[in-house]
């Protein structure tokens, strides 16, 4: 329902349908949480928001207010219309997955954003044919000298939000990243919840 605040539980995913032109406010409730974000054409789950195509469309690796992300068919799908945070959102890094946590020594049953995506879609009886590279909201991956990347704590404040606008009928999916080994969700390594409101 419009205006109602819904929770994305810590370490879990949520998916939601938006019609073309509808807006959603995504809220970093605690300020420290990374929220992996995906979008799919509601009529064709094979068409999805694509980071590698969007970097061409927006001319960079960091989306800014006014930028519109595009699909793997280079069609506008999701616009960033407002951002109260310092604007650090990653487009370079894969969703964490089962294999990531095995490599980090955390075993093979650690919560992960890839599984969260597919579980959230399944709750809407939807299935994605692949795991697109996500738009990692509030994930602080600076690109340094010579193109190096590093995983740093976020720089948002509690309550910071972005407003996203659907540019087609779409399915949005979010995952509150359960990374608790690297400090990407804050130095406390404590994954927490986030929230959204349809506007």
Site of interaction with a copy of itself (CB under 8 A) = 50-53, 55-56, 59-62, 72-75, 92-94, 97, 99-100, 103, 129-131, 133, 143, 146-150
Shortest Å, Cβ 197 to a copy of itself? 28
Q: Residue 81: how many CB atoms within 10 A of its CB? A: 16
Shortest Å, Cβ 112 to a copy of itself? 12
Overall residue count recorded for the chain in this entry: 199
Q: What is the DSSP letter of 189?
A: T
* Residue (36 or 160) nearer to a copy of itself, CB: 36
Q: Residue 99: CB partners within 8 Å, gap ≥ 6?
A: none
Three-state SS letters, 86-138: CCCCECCCCCCCHHHHHHCCCCCCCCCHHHHHHHHHHHCCCCCCCCCCCEEEC
Shortest Å, Cβ 194 to a copy of itself? 22
H or E element at residue 56: helix 51-58
* Residue (29 or 54) nearer to a copy of itself, CB: 54
* Residue (28 or 54) nearer to a copy of itself, CB: 54
Shortest Å, Cβ 52 to a copy of itself? 4
């Amino acid at each position: 329902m419009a205006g109602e605040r819904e929770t994305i539980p810590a370490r879990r995913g949520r998916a939601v349908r938006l019609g073309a032109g509808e807006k959603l406010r995504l809220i970093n409730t605690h300020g420290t949480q990374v929220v992996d974000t995906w979008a799919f054409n509601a009529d064709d789950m094979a068409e999805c928001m694509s980071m590698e195509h969007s970097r061409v469309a927006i001319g960079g690796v960091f989306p800014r207010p006014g930028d519109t992300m595009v699909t793997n068919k280079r069609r506008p799908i999701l616009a960033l219309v407002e951002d109260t945070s310092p604007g650090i959102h990653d487009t370079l890094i894969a969703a964490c997955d089962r294999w990531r946590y095995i490599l980090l020594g955390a075993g093979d049953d650690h919560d992960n954003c890839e599984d969260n995506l597919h579980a959230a879609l399944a709750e809407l009886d939807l299935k994605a044919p692949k795991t697109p590279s996500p738009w990692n909201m509030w994930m602080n991956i600076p690109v340094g000298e010579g193109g190096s990347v590093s995983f740093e704590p976020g720089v948002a404040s509690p309550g910071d939000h972005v407003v996203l606008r659907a540019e087609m009928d779409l399915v949005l999916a979010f995952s509150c990243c359960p990374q608790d080994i690297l400090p990407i969700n804050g130095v406390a390594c404590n994954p927490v919840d986030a929230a959204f409101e349809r506007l």
